[in-house]
Structure 1
């Protein structure tokens, strides 16, 4: 990481590695803000982008456990607005299940914004806009990573089931953040944390799936008071470690049970078979990689089998699971080795560079743990 920062690949970051719950490494490297010379600190707060989705997934799993819905519940049975206002454009939306959303098989549009970014702070408006959008693929048949729509819908499903009259943000705090003691995690960046927030800087040129402006817009949209269950959280490496440790320990941490072992077993079993993740077809072709096997559990990204490109490294066990976000953040748990890895970085990389960076760091971590 020090070498990468010296080469200006990215600006800095915080890395945390633990074995069987014992932290062996928790270090800040490089800069939080290279432009001002602000050095990285272990308590830096980062926009974690799509790593947010893993928090939303856990809330959905909690709703399963309470009998409020199931993986095979149809989305329209909970959010009828998903059909849209034009009955002639419903198409296959009635077939989309909660599991389809969690495994990115719903056939929703790959757009990161169903509304202009700053208008997405209101989750109800986002859901209304999604209802007016057509599916772009048959549900359940293909995997195409959904940057926004799937987890916006899952967030609304949480509100209408587990929420029981609470907002998504309040539900997130009551059911997950507060019980785990994740005091440095918020949905939307608090204004009074400005001295700890790591600025979002794009370290890649235009022409990729996301543009540099998309990344900046995402951080701007995730402001205090915004509700973006797909991309809106800020957090620290230590807080994300607490979340990952809860998962590694079968759903419990510090005497607080968040999930049952049965839920985590279901969520960390590959549900997508041999399907490829079509969202990455372009980069696969450009880099001459093997087809990008999806390897998605019920919400969590999985290492899977075989030697191929993977964020979690080539040496981690097949059951390794975790999440990642927009060229800058990642965590994983290797249950076979009882190994937990968290890395949050300053300076958002392009997709290929980010995958190579985290694949390399993951392999180095697994090798060190052995």
Structure 2
């Protein structure tokens, strides 16, 4: 049967493709983990963390995970629904009264998870300000980001606003009155043994941290109160940027993905129920396009695909389209990705888990093509 259900020569092919892309300068390098049925068949680090090739990547390198951070919030929001703290049909304004004003006041937690709130997908409420403190971010979103369409009628991927408010909902309803960093650590990272995952980059792991090379991909400065760098959020020790501010390793992200593959449980540690995970990996946006990626598709010259949003997760969906989760993966394959650099996905039917974390950000269309190609190689290796 090969190496745990994979053809060994095809796994070699995966590494050869990555090595070729790195050598060509497409990106600097990456850490990858592939497993089937929970058994790891490939755990490698290829290439470097910088353009000058002075920082060899390791399997325990710490990456800034960008929007993969949202996946952690998504899971805790679904957990809060299971605990009865609020529901998918709860209006955000009922949790955050300052989020008043039509039509956005009709947006529910479901709309926030599926990026169908009716608010535009802004990168920041206003430019030139650090957004690393949750209370300041929520206040600015409520003041400055208003609805432009009826909730549920349009899918505008929200780079930051949605998950700032979802995190605030977790804080406001937390019985223990904890901060969002404490909630993430105590309810998710520590139970799953994700010891290298944090909001920010703690001093203990800075020597392993791969400072992101933006390569002109991020359209804004991403500031921190801790320093004066244009992208200082990604080197600061602490932040509450729950949409993009986490750091992690391929091992920790694999652990998180394995929990999802296990229907919310890994090694008898239960975070979610199997029913909730099954709902989360279904498409809830019908054929609505993702307006952000619609623009990417039009610029790249291909037909804009449906958004295929689950409850916080990206889903591969029933049609063959340009997709970071591949074309050979099965329709309920689900996961999340982060700005031109990383992705994780789980194919429930094939029982495959994939984690890819790379250095040297790619533009959106090139990134989609890169991870689609790698996903298809992985599935092609399966026996």
**Structure 1, gaps ≥5 residues long:** 84-89
Q: 1:130 aligns with which of 131, 141, 154?
A: 141
Q: Deviations over 1:303-329 (max 9, x none)?
A: 001111011110000000000000001
1:59-98 paired onto structure 2 within 5 Å: 59-83=76-100, 90-98=101-109
Counterpart contact for 1:75–1:96, Cα < 8 Å:
yes
Greater displacement, 273-282 / 120-129: 273-282
Offset, 1:289: 1.2
Contact 1:47–1:232 under 8 Å retained in 2: yes
CA distance in 2 between partners of 1:222 and 1:114 (Å):
22
Is this contact kept in 2: 1:81–1:127, CA < 8 A?
Answer: no
CA distance in 2, matches of 1:223, 1:117: 17
Alignment partner, residue 109 of structure 1: 120
Q: Deviations over 1:81-130 (max 9, x none)?
A: 112xxxxxx12122011110100001223222225565311100111111
Quick one: distance in 1 between partners of 2:205 and 2:60? 11
Is the aligned partner of 1:26 residue 2:43? Answer: yes
TM-score calculated relative to the size of structure 1: 0.93
Alignment RMSD, CA only?
1.7
Q: Residues 339-350 of structure 1 correspond to what in structure 2 (within 5 A)?
A: 339-350=352-363
Q: Do 2:103 and 2:118's aligned partners in 1 also have CA atoms closer than 8 Å?
A: no
Give the total of aligned pairs. Answer: 360
The unaligned stretches of length 5 or more in structure 2 are 1-17, 224-228
The structure-2 alpha-carbon separation of the partners of 1:146 and 1:218, relative to structure 1 and needing over 3 Å to count, comes to farther
| Partners of 2:210 and 2:80 in 1: CA distance | 33
Would the alpha carbon gap of residues 203 and 9 (structure 1) be closer, same or farther in structure 2, given more than 3 Å must change?
farther
Q: Is the 8 A contact 1:121 1:222 kept in 2?
A: no
Q: Give the deviation of 1:290 after TM superposition.
A: 1.7
Residue 55 (structure 2) pairs with residue 38 (structure 1): yes
Counterpart selection for 1:16 from 6, 26, 33? 33
Contact 2:196–2:205 (8 Å) recurs in 1: no
Residues of 1 paired with 2:89 and 2:242: CA distance? 21
Checking the alignment, whether the CA contact within 8 Å between 2:34 and 2:43 is kept in structure 1 is yes
Q: Which of 158, 162, 166 lines up with 1:146 in the alignment?
A: 158
Once the two structures are overlaid, the 10-residue window that deviates more, 231-240 or 191-200, is 191-200
Alignment of 1:1-370 (within 5 A): 1-35=18-52, 37-83=54-100, 90-116=101-127, 119-133=130-144, 134-162=146-174, 164-204=176-216, 210-211=218-219, 213=221, 217=230, 220=233, 223-370=236-383
| Structure 1 CA distance for aligned equivalents of residues 365 and 204 of structure 2 | 35
**C-alpha deviation, 1:273, in angstroms:** 0.7
Greater shift in the superposed pair: 114-123 or 350-359: 114-123
Deviation of 1:148 after TM superposition, in Å, equals 0.5
Aligned residue for 2:8?
none
In the TM superposition, what is the alpha-carbon distance from 1:269 to its structure 2 partner? 1.1
Q: Distance in 2 between matches of 1:217 and 1:140?
A: 35
Closer/same/farther in 2, CA of residues 344 and 61 from structure 1, 3 Å limit: same
254-263 vs 311-320, greater mean Cα deviation: 254-263
Aligned to 1:86: none
TM-score, normalization by structure 2: 0.90
Contact 1:47 1:219 in 2 (8 A): no
> 1:87 maps to what in 2?
none
Cα pair 1:222 1:228 within 8 Å, conserved: no
Comparing 359-368 with 284-293, greater Cα deviation is found at 284-293
